[in-house]
């Protein structure tokens, strides 16, 4: 068994934890999962036992520690290339890395106004600010562009995801899919179909089922 441990936060709320968890699950590699409840008096102290950054997620692979979701995802893709978590085509791969980086660094208004809360589904729709609506429009533009240019790419297998087959780009945008569904955000047809594809993933269903068993976090 690989000496792999992924340290994460609550599955209902921790969008950053979901990203590398999906990537690691997609490789089929066995790993140990350490879940640290968030917003507790000892949360930061407990996380510091695993990562000097004091944040989740963190990946331990033997004596190596990798933190930050995007870095963990890239490490997973490089370590298990047979999982094909990046497009084969260099141009598609460059676009994939661009949209992944944009997700990692941007969309602050969306994060603030519509925080990930998978179990919120069915409650009153969220009310995003004008800035968050701009973020949502840009995200749909990204999804439309990637699906239109690369989604049916037979060289990469085709499929229902941003670059055809499931990739790191989908890991990065999966938490956004949950936000848009949880808060009842209206979507164009391409984006709605993409959200459906994310939710239909067995590994995504596994995460959602686990999130439903968690206790709600205390209010800030």
- Answer yes or no: is pLDDT of 220 > 80: no
Q: Which pLDDT score is estimated for 159?
A: 87
Q: Which pLDDT score is estimated for 153?
A: 63
Q: Which pLDDT score is estimated for 138?
A: 98
Q: Which pLDDT score is estimated for 16?
A: 97
Q: Please, which residues have CB within 8 angstroms of residue 77's CB and are 6 or more apart in sequence?
A: 23, 83, 85, 86, 168
Mean of all residue pLDDT scores within the chain = 94
Domains of the chain: 4-83 (3.40.30.10), 90-206 (1.20.1050.10)
Q: Which pLDDT score is estimated for 157?
A: 57
Q: Which pLDDT score is estimated for 219?
A: 62
Q: Say which range, 73-77, 112-116, 148-152, has the weakest mean pLDDT.
A: 148-152
Q: Return d(Cα 87, Cα 146) in angstroms, integer.
A: 12
With b meaning 16 or more CB within 10 Å and e meaning fewer, what string describes 131-167?
ebeebbeebbebbbebbeebbebeebeebbbbbbbbb
- Closest by alpha carbon to 174, among 159, 195, 190? 195
State mean pLDDT over 70-90.
97
Q: Which pLDDT score is estimated for 218?
A: 66
Q: How, if at all, do strands 64-67 and 58-61 pair?
A: antiparallel
- Closest by alpha carbon to 74, among 11, 153, 19, 111? 19
Q: How, if at all, do strands 64-67 and 32-35 pair?
A: unpaired
Summarised one tens digit per residue, pLDDT across range 161-192 is: 999 999 999 999 999 999 999 999 999 999 99
- Answer yes or no: is pLDDT of 93 > 50: yes
Summarised one tens digit per residue, pLDDT across range 115-160 is: 999 998 877 778 899 999 999 999 999 999 999 999 876 565 568 9
Q: Return d(Cα 69, Cα 57) in angstroms, integer.
A: 6
Q: Which pLDDT score is estimated for 87?
A: 95
């Amino acid at each position: 068994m690989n000496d792999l441990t992924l340290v994460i936060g609550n599955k209902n709320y921790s969008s950053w934890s979901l990203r590398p968890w999906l990537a690691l699950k997609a490789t089929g590699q066995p790993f140990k999962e350490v879940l640290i409840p968030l917003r507790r008096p000892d949360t930061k102290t407990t996380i510091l036992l695993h990562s000097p950054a004091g944040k989740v997620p963190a990946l331990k692979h033997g004596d190596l520690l990798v933190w930050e979701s995007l870095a963990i995802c890239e490490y997973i893709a490089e370590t298990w290339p047979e999982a094909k978590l990046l497009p084969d085509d260099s141009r598609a791969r460059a676009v994939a890395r661009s949209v992944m980086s944009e997700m990692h660094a941007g969309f602050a208004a969306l994060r603030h106004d519509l925080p990930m809360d998978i179990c919120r589904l069915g409650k009153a729709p969220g009310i995003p600010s004008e800035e968050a609506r701009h973020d949502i429009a840009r995200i749909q533009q990204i999804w439309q562009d990637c699906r239109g240019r690369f989604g049916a790419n037979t060289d990469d297998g085709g499929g229902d995801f941003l670059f055809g087959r499931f990739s790191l780009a989908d890991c990065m945008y999966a938490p956004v899919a949950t936000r848009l569904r949880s808060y009842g955000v209206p979507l164009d047809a391409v984006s709605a179909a993409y959200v459906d594809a994310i939710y239909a993933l067995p590994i995504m269903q596994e995460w959602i089922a686990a999130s439903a068993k968690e206790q709600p976090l205390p209010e800030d």
